């Protein structure tokens, strides 16, 4: 199948953000007197946005006393330290550039807060339209961000594909009525993607191209 529109997840698909997310989680937990979490615990909590991530790290989840304050401080600290160790996965910048040179439409659709997503995209993938979580847009796996991105690109669902690394991404594509390409290099791996129903899974950016 040849596609002309590519919608990419960000964390675990385009960018390896795990170290900086873990640092933000642990800074916030320590600030409020909670124990630190390992990088693997943070990895398992990723995919459903900042609120679900922090809730998974706290003993009482979203019912934790002062959870709104915890989220405020987490978002502020991460926004200021989102690019300490974060970097693109091998071959990803070249992949996006090649797709654009071929005349394909490309956008990023992320459960990362919109401001942080746009800041990282502008640094690593300048000019690529980016859509993150906001109060007006339900987070994935709701398809709203996908439809918003397609509208902004002036593209329809025909010829479009969604690319991601997690079960959330597979479900997002399903909810939007799009085919999905899973990337095995991300936070979940090939086995989890296959179990979620991804029929096409690639191991490198070159293979995706």
Catalytic residue of the set 9, 11, 20, 169: 9
Measured CA to CA in angstroms, residue 175 lies from 21, 140, 143 at distances of 27, 9, 6
Three-state DSSP class for 86? coil
- Do 15 and 124 form a contact (C-beta atoms < 8 A)? yes
First-to-last alpha carbon distance for the chain, in angstroms, is 12
The residue assigned the tokens 């800074």 is 27
Reply yes or no on whether 20 is catalytic: no
What burial letters (b/e) apply to 96-114, b meaning 16+ CB within 10 Å? Answer: beebeeeebbbbbbbbbbb
For the purposes of burial, counting CB atoms within 10 Å of the CB of 192, is it exposed (0-12), middle (13-18) or buried (19 or more)? Answer: middle
Residues catalogued as catalytic: 9
């Amino acid at each position: 199948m040849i596609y002309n529109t590519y919608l990419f997840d960000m964390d675990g698909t385009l960018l390896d953000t795990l170290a900086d997310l873990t640092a933000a989680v642990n800074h916030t937990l320590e600030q409020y007197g909670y124990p630190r979490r390992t990088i693997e615990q943070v990895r398992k909590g990723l995919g459903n946005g900042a609120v679900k991530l922090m809730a998974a790290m706290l003993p009482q989840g979203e019912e934790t006393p002062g959870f709104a304050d915890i989220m405020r401080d987490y978002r502020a600290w991460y926004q200021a330290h989102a690019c300490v160790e974060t970097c693109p996965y091998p071959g990803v910048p070249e992949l996006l550039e090649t797709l654009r040179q071929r005349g394909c439409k490309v956008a990023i659709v992320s459960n990362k807060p919109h401001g942080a997503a746009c800041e990282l995209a502008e640094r690593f993938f300048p000019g690529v339209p980016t859509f993150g979580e906001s109060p007006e847009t339900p987070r994935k796996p709701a398809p709203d961000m996908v439809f918003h991105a397609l509208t902004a690109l002036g593209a329809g669902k025909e010829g479009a594909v969604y690319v991601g690394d997690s079960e959330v991404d597979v479900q997002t594509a399903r909810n939007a009525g799009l085919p999905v390409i899973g990337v095995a290099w991300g936070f979940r791996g090939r086995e989890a993607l296959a179990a979620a129903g991804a029929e096409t899974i690639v191991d490198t950016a070159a293979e995706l191209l």
